[in-house]
Each structure stands twice: as structure tokens, then as C-alpha cells.
Structure 1
Amino acid sequence: MSDFPAPDPGALGRFLDTTGAPGDGELPVLTVLSGGSQNVLYRIDRGGHPMVLRMPGPRADAARLDGLRREIRLVRALSGTDVPHAALIAADPDGTVLGQPFYVMAEIDGWSPMGDGWQPPFDTDLAARRELGFQLVAGAAMLGRVDWRGRGLQGFGRPEGFHERQVDRWLGFLAKYQVRELPGLHEAADWLRRNRPERYTPGIMHGDYQFANVMFGHGAPGRLAAIVDWEMTTVGDPLLDLAWALLGYEGEEPAADGFYLDMTGMPKRGELLAHYEKLSGLSTENIDYYLVLANWKLGIMLEKTYAASLRQGSAVDPQVAAAMGPMVPALMQTAARLAGTATGA
């Protein structure tokens, strides 16, 4: 049973009728897929046509409402591109239909590695699993090469001065919730300031691009079915998404342990960089900078979850909190170590 009040199926059905959505005239049946204070997902069955509704949770604040409107704008802009995503079916950014902004998207026939790890045959067939690494990197390349200006995303982000803002912006966020010393934090921050790119090619960046935020098609060969969870997407530097996708690596080799997936069989890092360059047309020569920034930034983001877990009455999953304890310092130390060994250190 769910504590979330289900949207009015009658109002939703009438709205969907006006948009030409599948199942014309049928009353939608809604089932909660996942829910939190920020966002709720419902599966819609309408005359045998499955769809998914995404809307803010009952305690979402104004920033979350604006965030969902940004998602609507982005997913609409991706329509017709080669970026794998759940296609937009209908949207109400004003919230006039259900009292909250929402959008309805196609249901993806696929699986997420965040369920129970690698699905067959990728759990045992290492050659098939290897292809998933190339597919992940291909998704980042496809997203980054979208003509964001031509798709009407002017003002969606602030690409001018993107790298100049990163360090001070994220240190400012961390100062609001930091609860412990994080060795390596300032060493990596100083290096990032000194080594930021002088120029870059702006593009759409997901902001949290990794195996946790994609879905794959069933069966071999590996196929990226959809990129999901667009909360952090902006127009910035797409190479940061590539670095995020490489967080499971130690140099050229996939991590032997300490990552949330078994990376055995994945391509070498150099192979993935070459694949990304071929598809994106961008140089990865300065990948060291992006790897330092990715580790450092992710550590700051996850420290917020760890800090929240320490509050009395916290709703953070205890297992998640336990994982964040050692993970954040490890990310900071990795960022500082990479900075110390990188070209230009």
C-alpha cells in the first residue's frame, strides 16, 4: 500500500484524451512504482497501453516543482534525437490538471543494473558485459552532441564560466551541511582551480551519468534503452559526464572492488575514451581534470546524504548511510591522489 494520494484518474484520462495519448477514452489505472518526498512515479495502464507518470511528491518544495518543469522542457527538446530516453507523451507544466506539474512518458522495456546487478546474460557472459561499457559511453556522447540551441534550450544552463564556477559553488554547498573533515578536499579544489580548461564545447550534460541512471534492453547484444533521472541536467561540459561514467575505473583497468557493480570484463579506459572521441568529435586529452572534478564533486554530493543520515528521525536508509560513511572520504582522497599525479599537478 502507498501513502501517496493517487492522482484523479478521471481528470488524468480526460487530459490524455486531449493529447492523443494511447488508450483514447479509457480510464487510466495507476500503480505507484516509486515514491519519495521529491518525486513519485506511477505506472499508467490505459486500455492495455502502459505509460509512466512522473510528478513531485506531496512534500516537494517550489525548487522541486521548478525542477520538474525543467525536466519537461528537456525531455521535450530530446524528442526526435538519437538520445535513448523515455519519449514524452504528454505534460502539464502548470499543474492545472492534477494540482501539481507532471509529465507522462513511454514505458521502457528494459532493466536497470541497480535492481539486482547484471541481468542475464551479462551476469556470466563477460564479452556481452563488455559491450555495456561501450553503450554507456555512447549514451554520454549522443547526449553531449545534441544541438541544444537548435532544440530551444537557450537559458537552460549557464555554459559561460562553467568551470570558473565549479569549485566555489560546490564548496559553498558543502559548507551548509559538512559534518566532518574530508582530507583531500582542499588539495583537489586548489588543483582544479589551477587546471581548469581554458575553453570547451558546451553541450547537454546529465550531471549524474553512470550505470545507476540508465536502462538497458533485454538480452544480448547490449543495447542502451534509456537514460533516466534528469534532475541534475544542464547545459555545461559534456566531458564531465564521460568522467562520471569512468568512476568505476582505477587507471586503465576497471575497479577490482569497492564499486557498486562487478566491473570484471569491462573495456579498458583507453578503449572507452577512443569510443567517446569517435562518436562525439571531442578530445579527451584533458580527461585527468574531469576525473578529479567528478570524484571531488560526487563526494560533496554524497556528503549531503551522509549528513542528513545523522539527524534525529532521518529518513535516509541506514544501509545507504553506512555506505556513505567511508565512500565520501575515499572519493576525496581519490580526487587528491589523481590531482597529485595528473599532468599539470
Structure 2
Amino acid sequence: MTGQAVPDFDWLAAAHPRRLSAWMDEHGLESGPLRGFERLAGGTQNLIVRFQRGNRSFVLRRPPLYPRPDGDKTILREARVLGALAGSRVPHPGLIASCGDTVVIGSAFYLMEPVEGFNPSGKPLPREYAENVDWRRRMGFAMVDALLALGEIVPEQVGLDGFGKPLTFLERQVPRWRAHLEACPSSAAWQGPEGLVGLDELGRILENQRPLVFEPGVLHGDFHLANVMFRHDCSELAAVIDWELATLGDPLLDLGWLVATWPDETGHGAGTIQVSPWDGFPTAQQLLDHYAAGSRRDLSRIDWYIALANYKLAVMLEASHARSCAGRAPREIGERHHASALRLVQNGLAKLAT
């Protein structure tokens, strides 16, 4: 992990480092002063910091200083998932402990084991990867293997009973994300949902062609190249990170999301995903073939899941555009996101064209 030194951590512990130390004492988590604070990148808003106590390193994750109303709940859900994955074949940060008492640092939080690795998006790959085309090819298949391992998890056997409503998962998707767009801040500069040309048509087709039967399981919810870390010594995953959208539903949507965000021949993927060098990586079809070879799940309707992923991601990017039009985000970024959202809608329509 990489980050930057933090001279103090008022932003982290709400000016109560002694309370965090006392809480760690109660849980038998080393002893002595907290030291070596380092702010880490990860997620879009949640705050992550690495620090040491005694002979051990810890990573703390909490909601942003001005969180959404469900910020504490989301953090505790993440912790629950990480705890449930313990002992599985899914690469993930190991959960140490979680805390729902907001008195300790001003919000819910959890502690996890540090992950030694790197994220491949946004800057050139490390030398070992840049010089070895076989390593780059393996990177794509390693991501699919993580999804295959996640698909093997039986929620009831790992304490995830009631973590979601899997039986109605697919039928909730289009209405939920359409409502998300309608709830965006209105402004004279934003045309509203109607400005995302083709979205309603894509939504109607998705609803009309929605699979009626699927095998429920655990979803990561945002599985792509910017949410994984690779090992330095070999082309395997060190961890899948940022589990804030995890739920129970149809795991094939994670596969569809991976394909929908997968870079083209230039190394540019959806949103800000960019990988260099890109040559040697598997194609999206090769990812699907690798998944099919290792799973019993029926992929005959995978184009529907890819189209749904395009729909969902288009809404998320258009919501960013709406915020920028309302002055809550840089306008230039909002315009880029709007252009990407329009392309994603057309990609989704093309997937479902008959």
C-alpha cells in the first residue's frame, strides 16, 4: 500500500486518540502509543489510514468526515463481509475488529490487516509486469478466479443470513437506479434523466428481458481493475478491496460489471480506469470463457448482465454530471462523465439488440 504521512489524525479520531487506544486495549490489540500514521488511497470517499501499535500494523477504515446518512451502516456491512470471507479462497483484507460505537472516533470503523500490493490502474505497471506479457495476461484471469471463488461462498454458511434480499435482486435493479438518478440535485444546467438519451429505452428492454431464475450468492458490487490489488512477486491478486456495495443477489452481475468496465485496446476502461502497458491482457470474451470453464452457472444470458452493468454505471456517472451542474463537483469532470454515460447506454442497447 502507498500513501502519505499524516501529521495528526483529528480527521480520523475526532480528536480522541486516547479513546481509540482504550478501545484497542479492550480488544487486546497490542499496547503502547499509536504511531506512524499514513493516509491511504482507496474508495472514493471513505477514509483509510495505516498506523502501528506495538509490533503490529493496522489499517483503519471509516466513513468520510461528512458521511451520507447510511455511512456507519455501510462501514459495518463491509466489516461483516470481510469477516465472512475469512478462510475462503477469495483474496481480501483480513478483518481484525469492528466498532459500531460512534463515541470512539466519531463514526463506526473497522480495523483490517495491511495488504502488500499495488493497484494497476492510473499509473504504469511495475517493471516485472511491464516486461512480462504472461504476467499481464494472468492478471485478467486472476480477477476472474476471484469471482469464481466468491461465487462458491454459501451465505448461510458464513454468517451472511439476511445480508440482502437475493430473490428480488434483479427486479429491483432498474427501478432502484432510475430512482437514484431522479434524486440527483436539479439545476438549470442539467437536463435531468431525459438528458441521458436512450436510458429509458435500455431500462424497458432490461425489464422485458430480465432472467426469471438465477442462483443467488455474494456480490462485491463494484468489481473492476481499480478495486483490486496485485502482489509484487507474482501476477496473482493480493486482495479485492472496497466492499462497500457488497450484497446478496446474482453473482453474474459482478462478471457483467467486470466486462462492462474492462479496457479497450488502448488500455482505457470505464470511468478513470487506465492500465499501461495493456497489450497481453485477455479480451473480455476470454474473461467470459475463463469464467464459464470454472463455473456451473449458466452464462447464456450474460449479455443481459453486461447491459445492466452498463445501465447502472451510466446512471452513476450521470449522477456525477448532475452534481457538477449543481456546483458540487468540477464541471469539466462532470462533462466527461456525461459523455461516458451516453456511450455506456449505447453499449448496453447494442448488447441487447436482436
Superposition TM-score, scaled by structure 2 size: 0.86
Q: CA deviation at 1:323?
A: 2.9
Name the counterpart of 1:131: 138
From 26, 29, 33, the equivalent of 1:27 is 33
* Runs (5+) with no aligned partner, structure 2: 1-6
Given the superposition, is the C-alpha separation of residues 280 and 97 from structure 1 closer, same or farther in structure 2, using an over 3 Å criterion? farther
Q: CA deviation at 1:322?
A: 4.5
From 4, 14, 21, the equivalent of 2:22 is 14
Asked if the contact 1:40–1:57 (Cα under 8 Å) also holds between the matched residues in 2, the reply is yes
From 169, 172, 184, the equivalent of 1:165 is 172
Given the superposition, is the C-alpha separation of residues 96 and 174 from structure 1 closer, same or farther in structure 2, using an over 3 Å criterion? same
Q: SS at the partner of 1:149?
A: helix
Name the counterpart of 1:205: 219
> What CA distance in whole angstroms lies between the structure 2 residues aligned with 1:191 and 1:4?
50
Name the counterpart of 1:74: 81
> What CA distance in whole angstroms lies between the structure 2 residues aligned with 1:299 and 1:333?
10
> What CA distance in whole angstroms lies between the structure 2 residues aligned with 1:338 and 1:2?
50
Name the counterpart of 2:4: none
From 208, 211, 214, the equivalent of 1:194 is 208
Q: CA deviation at 1:37?
A: 9.5
Q: SS at the partner of 1:245?
A: helix
* 1:250-265 matched pairs, under 5 angstroms: 254-256=264-266, 258-259=268-269, 260-262=273-275, 263-265=278-280
From 253, 266, 274, the equivalent of 1:240 is 253
Identity of aligned residues (%): 34
Asked if the contact 1:31–1:43 (Cα under 8 Å) also holds between the matched residues in 2, the reply is yes
Q: How many residues align?
A: 333
Q: CA deviation at 1:270?
A: 3.5
2:32 partner amino acid: E
Name the counterpart of 1:338: 351
Superposition TM-score, scaled by structure 1 size: 0.88
**2:290 paired with 1:275:** yes
Asked if the contact 2:321–2:334 (Cα under 8 Å) also holds between the matched residues in 1, the reply is yes
> What CA distance in whole angstroms lies between the structure 2 residues aligned with 1:149 and 1:69?
18
Q: CA deviation at 1:283?
A: 2.3
Cα deviation code 1:279-327 (max 9, x no counterpart): 3321222111111111111000111112112223x2x356643531311
Given the superposition, is the C-alpha separation of residues 188 and 145 from structure 1 closer, same or farther in structure 2, using an over 3 Å criterion? same
Given the superposition, is the C-alpha separation of residues 275 and 90 from structure 1 closer, same or farther in structure 2, using an over 3 Å criterion? same
Name the counterpart of 1:328: 341
Asked if the contact 1:203–1:235 (Cα under 8 Å) also holds between the matched residues in 2, the reply is yes
1:330 partner amino acid: R
Q: SS at the partner of 2:49?
A: strand
Cα deviation code 1:174-227 (max 9, x no counterpart): 12227331222122112111211120011111111000111110133x111111
Asked if the contact 2:96–2:113 (Cα under 8 Å) also holds between the matched residues in 1, the reply is yes
Query: Over aligned residue pairs, what C-alpha RMSD do you find?
Result: 2.4
* 1:42-53 matched pairs, under 5 angstroms: 42-53=49-60
1:283 partner amino acid: D
1:15 partner amino acid: W
Name the counterpart of 1:286: 301
1:282 partner amino acid: R
> What CA distance in whole angstroms lies between the structure 2 residues aligned with 1:219 and 1:318?
41
From 43, 58, 62, the equivalent of 2:65 is 58
> What CA distance in whole angstroms lies between the structure 2 residues aligned with 1:123 and 1:234?
35
Q: SS at the partner of 1:154?
A: coil
2:300 partner amino acid: E
**2:230 paired with 1:216:** yes
Q: SS at the partner of 1:121?
A: helix
